[in-house]
Amino acid sequence: MTRPMPGRRKNAMGLLVAAALLAGAAQSAEAAPALEKDELKLGFIKLTDMAPLAIAKEKGFFEDEGLFVTLEPQANWKVLLDRVISGELDGAHMLAGQPLGATIGYGTKTHVVTAFSMDLNGNGITVSNEVWDLMKPHLPKGPDGKPVHPIKADSLKKVIESFKAQGKSFNMGMVFPVSTHNYELRYWLASGGINPGYYSPENIQGQIGADALLSVTPPPQMPATLEAGTISGYSVGEPWNQAAVFKGIGVPVITDYEIWKNNPEKVLGVNNSWAEKHPNTHVAMVKALIRAGKWLDENNNANRAEAVRILAKPEYVGADAKVIANSMTGTFEYEKGDKRAVPDFNVFYRHFATYPFYSDAIWYLTQMRRWGQIAEAKPDAWYLETAKSVYRPDIYLKAAKALADEGKIAKAEIPWDSDGFRAPTSEFIDGVSYDGRKPNDYLKSFAIGLKGGQKVENNKVAGN
């Protein structure tokens, strides 16, 4: 039988335990760097790939890092970038090309950096019902009578030619000149022999010599613009492709996973001056977002149903949960009723999705050069220097190390020894191989697009 502890001894033991706890708390407080700022306002656009921000807030990951975060939807990508630059926002969910475009001075000139990649994949290309009906006769069919995927742009080329013969332009929407959606749409079109047009310093419409005319439309407005007949198709993130299916106004023909398997998509962007002023806060923010990415993908996407309910809230994406779930839970619906398994349509953690690879940045820079947003030829070294000035794996690894030390992530989940380059890949719809170490060789491999010393002068491609 256990004898009761005498009162004096019991009190002494309690004091010792309390002292030990206080000492441990003091050590933890001493180990955690002081935050320069603990109240943050972060911007986003109403797309499902803003999920890491919503999850970091809803699951308390920001608070665990001592951060009190307000998430604020923005009207469009330009407004979002301008507010990060002005300091009205501490950071934002950004198109991967935005920090790069701003830093090299395409549009607004400001040094913007990213230490966190938010996701892989997540976009699609949708066409109107009219265009789909014209494409279908040119598509190969499988044994089940359904179109064979991936659908190549060759079938759309015939439609564009018929529009041209009738004296009609073929108009398509994308979300921003330096968006993933613009470059993926251009890549897909060009792979089918369709020229998506060039930019020049004097003509920033991006329609020089174009077979298909691409223009900017904010993501939530895409379905309505398609339904109005202003555009015949668009490239956008979810849930706005699936929204076209639910509304019965269009058909998604291809996902970006099929254009470039496991392509990088959004990033967390902050003004470089903000990053220099708030280094500890920056690391804390990245820590919370890494945990959010892990939560979204862990246990084979077991948390996605809960994530869909969160994203459907009006303060986040605000779309019907069924529309969001159509892609967020590992499937994608093309033509109405043609739902197919695409388990990696949205990736937030797998495949080192959160790590800011230099080779990802360089791919975007090659596309800026390919279409004339970078007007002059640049040496390979310039691409790497620019990537290193914007993508900050050093900050990411500080955050990841802290999480690993705290036991919140496994060490195997982070590419600690990476040199910043993914392995060369040819997992593109046209089979062209990409090696981020050789950007100019990559550009030379395309039949359509600027290469070498070429540039656009007087609305024509000149030089060689």
Share of the chain above pLDDT 90, in %: 91
Q: Compute the mean pLDDT over every residue in the chain, rounded to the nearest whole number.
A: 93
Name 111's Cβ contacts closer than 8 Å, sequence gap at least 6. Answer: 102, 103, 271, 272, 273, 389, 390
Residues 79/96, Cβ–Cβ less than 8 Å: no
- Copy the structure tokens of residue 9: 């001894």
Residues 124/239, Cβ–Cβ less than 8 Å: no
* Chain CA centroid to CA 317, Å: 15
pLDDT reported for residue 3: 42
Nearest to 91 by CA among 253, 214, 275, 334: 275
pLDDT reported for residue 32: 74
Q: Report strand pairing: 68-73 vs 250-255.
A: unpaired
408 burial via Cβ count (<10 Å: 0-12, 13-18, 19+): middle
Radius of gyration, alpha carbons of the chain:
24
- What separation in angstroms does the CA of 79 have from each of 75, 86, 176? 6, 10, 11
| pTM for this predicted structure | 0.92
- What separation in angstroms does the CA of 432 have from each of 2, 364, 394, 442, 444? 76, 16, 31, 8, 11
pLDDT reported for residue 113: 98
Q: Report strand pairing: 39-44 vs 68-73.
A: parallel
Nearest to 340 by CA among 437, 270, 255, 280: 255
What is the distance between the alpha carbons of residues 334 and 231, in angstroms, rounded to a whole number? 19
pLDDT reported for residue 31: 62
Peptide bond connecting 99 to the previous residue in cis, omega within 30 degrees of 0: no
What is the distance between the alpha carbons of residues 435 and 360, in angstroms, rounded to a whole number? 10
- Copy the structure tokens of residue 366: 């090659």
Task: Tell me the pLDDT of the chain (464 aa) as tens digits.
Answer: 444 444 444 444 444 444 444 444 444 444 678 999 999 999 999 999 999 999 999 999 999 999 999 999 999 999 999 999 999 999 999 999 999 999 999 988 999 999 999 999 999 999 999 999 999 999 999 999 999 999 999 999 999 999 999 999 999 999 999 999 999 999 999 999 999 999 999 999 999 999 999 999 999 999 999 999 999 999 999 999 999 999 999 999 999 999 999 999 999 999 999 999 999 999 999 999 999 999 999 999 999 999 999 999 999 999 999 999 999 999 999 999 999 999 999 999 999 999 999 999 999 999 999 999 999 999 999 999 999 999 999 999 999 999 999 999 999 999 999 999 999 999 999 999 999 999 999 999 999 999 999 999 999 999 88
Longest dimension (CA), the chain: 99
| Residues present in the chain in total | 464
Residues 132/233, Cβ–Cβ less than 8 Å: no
pLDDT reported for residue 214: 98
pLDDT reported for residue 14: 47
pLDDT reported for residue 464: 82
Q: DSSP letters of 210-241?
A: -SSEEEE--GGGHHHHHHTTS-SEEEEETTHH
Residues 231/212, Cβ–Cβ less than 8 Å: no
Output b/e per residue, 305-324; b: 16+ Cβ within 10 A. Answer: eebbebbbeeebbebebebb
Main-chain phi, psi angles of 155, to 5 degrees: -65, -30
What is the distance between the alpha carbons of residues 67 and 38, in angstroms, rounded to a whole number? 5
